[in-house]
Structure 1
Amino acid sequence: MGTKWLIVADDLTGAADCAIAFAKEGVAAAVGWGDCAEDTGGLPPVFSYDAGSRGLSGRDALTKHRAVLGKLHVEGTALFKKIDSTLRGQPAAETVAIFEALRPRHGSVLGVMSPAFPATGRTTRDGRVHVSGEPLEQTEVWQREHSYPNADLVEVLATAGVVAEKVQLATIRAGVEALRAALDGIASKGDRVAVCDAETEDDLACIAAAGLPVRSNVFWIGSAGLAHALAKATKGEAVGPIPAPVTGRGALVVVGSLARASRSAARVLSALPGLRSVPIEPELLLSETAGADRAALAGQVITALQAGEDVLVEIIVGGTPDLALGPCLAERLADLLKPAAAYASGLAATGGETAAALLARFGVNGIRLVDEVEPGVSLGLTLGDLSIPIVTKAGAFGSDNTLKHVVQRLRTIRQEGKLA
């Protein structure tokens, strides 16, 4: 039997885009949240857990991760701490929880960190995050939301008392043995995180090779880029086709993310033949007296799905959005769409908060991961009360054509009757 992995993420789309890396290499992988481990009757070789901590304070995120690790981590399971590639949330505090979980068993602990995800333009040079070659601090995503004064990873980790050292690109590219020696040297100093530069898939492959085989006192910190490198280095057996119903019903696409990438992709998707666009104003979701109007919108969505139309539901946000309303809007939107779930041939959701709210309302307690539509855009099958194909995507990932590609993939699935 190959290595078993526990991935702990702070949101649903992040949990999925890491687990899918292993599923693509033939290893059974699933995503879960809440009490899903009990509900689904055991864990697959790769289990990715959404701790739902993206919007928490550092203290609360640490507490949440302590509880998750106490419940799910067992001796002999490799640990991967999934962090946002643009450092949203509380990655420093959550890293502390991993040290706390491993230190009593193994003494000093080494974390190998590389948040780079080259396929989506995220890279790391001199221990700092860049997006499409631009320093993270100068990007839209940082201006909209950030937790730290800057994107220097050593300084970020220091905010939670974690000691880290940078491993420069020159050392990464000197080869596996040179990098392994550098990692061993850092580990010899006690609890440390080795912050590894990476700009290409080859860089990440070298980092994975230098850290493998899995050791009980070593854990990994990164995004889906590093997960893919580790998965390729620990291949499983290929799986056969996964069946899905052949149906004439449409798919439901929900855009709740405020990121520019998702909004641009929604505009392109709205022009696709056979698709109905249903824009929703935030005021309609927040109003306590608009129940009849919300029910009417849900009826429109159901009618379109039954007629074989794919439906795009998008929260319309103008000007500078109030991020504090995000959780409430996601919950209200999920309430509105719950009656439509039984009529959808497939589901796509952008933004981890949106996806988590929808799936909770739809009675879904996990996702069996199958494939990627694009890098960072995961395809799977829902587990629980509803069993349909699902695509999840982080809000800031993808091109203008990503949602169009997602709908085209969901159309192919319902016509051919198989996910992969």
Structure 2
Amino acid sequence: MMSNRWLILADDLTGAADCAIAFGRRGLAAAVTWDVTTSGDVSPDDSRPLPVLAYDADSRGLSASDAAERHRGLLERWLEPDRVLFKKIDSTLRGQPAAETAATMAYLMERTGAAFGICAPAFPATGRTTLAGHVHVAGRPLEDAEVWRRDHTYASANLGFVLGTAEIETTLVPLSAIRSSDLASRLARIAEGGPGVAICDAETDGDLARIAAASLAVAPVPFFIGSAGLAHALADTLAPAPTGAVHIPPSRSGSLIVVGSLAAASRAAMRRLAAQDHVVHLPVSPDTLLGDLAGRADLAARVAAVIAAGDDALVEIAIGDALDMSLGPRLARALAEALDPIATRIGAVAATGGETAAALLARFGIDGIRLVDEIEPGVSLGLTLGRLSIPVATKAGAFGDAESLIRISERLRAVRTQGSFS
């Protein structure tokens, strides 16, 4: 078996969380942080080593050179010799995965003299697969997907091309090889060829399980490049550890649920949740967030009234398809600033989109999440660390279906009213 100590380095918050909870569900203490002052050596209760540390590098919106520099600095700070490295990349290749992977390999070569990566970004539970080294969504090339049309960095979703933009040597391991009996020896031979990355096809969770098991035969231990699908497969190679129930004081205050993602999946789920009993829909426009102080104060007052009544406040950043994508970070920060005065009254919080979640939690004085469970693939559940200690759920914007936010709302309601995550 592999080491029980892992460093997950992600380019956004939701990705860090949905990878770390894979290990948390095996009984390993796992937390996500984005605050460089947080210690990676201790768990949230400060009494025992933290086996799984996930760090949000917040690098998705950076240039290639800035993202690479940030990753190198974080590796220097957090990658201890006994931790296995999981370089989390977006399953639809947003951000700068090539530059970040190249920086990771350069750092590993300097420190250990070896840098062999196994790349498998497939996440079959959310419709992401890899065939012939090419990323697919819902059975079609990624280039046909909404998320690619809205935001992409590269000219192609072929992983060999993507990593090649950073001059990384790659070897394709096709699906036939993934399902063959000699996969372990094949990966070991590729590793012997020197610094490089094995790009692994995967169409099912079973394929990812084969990749994870075969990786055990590679020495020294490779680093991994992928999304939560691969994280779950790797976690399943570890022996489960006993885990205790997590309890909190019950709360009558309602949940704050924020939808800041442009993804159609999140917008559809928002409409379904808005129609539920005990949910109050509160849309807010970009103009209000960016320039209307009275409107922002009114939003905070309305949210406070809703959650005081024990209902859920569903706050929608009401953005149209023509929105300038560069406004996204400003809108997320402005919403966080508007709601900060009422943060201590919130019973639980959920956010779609890593950028929105990170801005909201950081402004509320939260510097980490102790991960407890997974509501559904790509939706992690935990307890906030820092100024507030409340249940929190995070979801990538493009994940889930029309019922996802309803399931999140119901689970948060059960946790906060019963005082138990069980």
TM range (shorter): over 0.9
The equivalent of 1:386 in structure 2 is 388
Deviations 1:350-383 (A, max 9, x none): 0000001011111001000011111000000000
| 1:7 partner amino acid | I
Distance apart, 1:215 and its partner CA: 4.5
Q: Secondary structure at the residue paired with 1:312?
A: strand
Distance apart, 1:245 and its partner CA: 2.1
Deviations 1:210-260 (A, max 9, x none): 002675451000000000000011133121210022121100000111111
| 1:342 partner amino acid | T
Matched, 1:44 2:50: yes
Of residues 338, 348, 367 in structure 2, which corresponds to 1:336? Answer: 338
* C-alpha RMSD over aligned residues: 1.5
The equivalent of 2:227 in structure 1 is 223
Deviations 1:262-321 (A, max 9, x none): 11100000001011111001110111xx21221111011001111111110001112322
Q: Secondary structure at the residue paired with 1:336?
A: helix
| 1:356 partner amino acid | A
Deviations 1:23-59 (A, max 9, x none): 1111110000131434995661000000000000110
Of 111-120 and 180-189, deviating more is: 180-189
Distance apart, 1:3 and its partner CA: 2.2
Q: How does 1:94-243 map to 2 (within 5 A)?
A: 94-175=100-181, 178-212=182-216, 215-216=219-220, 218-243=222-247
Count of matched residue pairs: 416
Matched, 1:261 2:262: no
The equivalent of 1:309 in structure 2 is 311
CA distance in 1, matches of 2:20, 2:114: 27
TM norm structure 2: 0.96
- Is this contact kept in 2: 1:244–1:418, CA < 8 A? yes
CA distance in 2, matches of 1:364, 1:33: 9
CA distance in 2, matches of 1:234, 1:344: 37
Deviations 1:138-194 (A, max 9, x none): 11100000010101101100001111010000011013xx11111122112211100
| 1:251 partner amino acid | S
| 1:170 partner amino acid | S
The equivalent of 2:10 in structure 1 is 9
CA distance in 1, matches of 2:335, 2:170: 41
Q: How does 1:254-333 map to 2 (within 5 A)?
A: 254-287=258-291, 290-333=292-335
The equivalent of 2:364 in structure 1 is 362
| 2:337 partner amino acid | D
Structure 2: tracts of 5 or more residues without a match: 44-48
Q: How does 1:57-96 map to 2 (within 5 A)?
A: 57-96=63-102
TM norm structure 1: 0.96
CA distance in 2, matches of 1:85, 1:39: 26
Structure 1: tracts of 5 or more residues without a match: none
| 2:38 partner amino acid | A
Q: Secondary structure at the residue paired with 1:279?
A: strand
| 2:232 partner amino acid | H
- Is this contact kept in 1: 2:333–2:359, CA < 8 A? yes
- Is this contact kept in 1: 2:188–2:219, CA < 8 A? no
CA distance in 2, matches of 1:80, 1:214: 15
CA distance in 1, matches of 2:192, 2:339: 54
The equivalent of 2:407 in structure 1 is 405
CA distance in 2, matches of 1:73, 1:236: 23
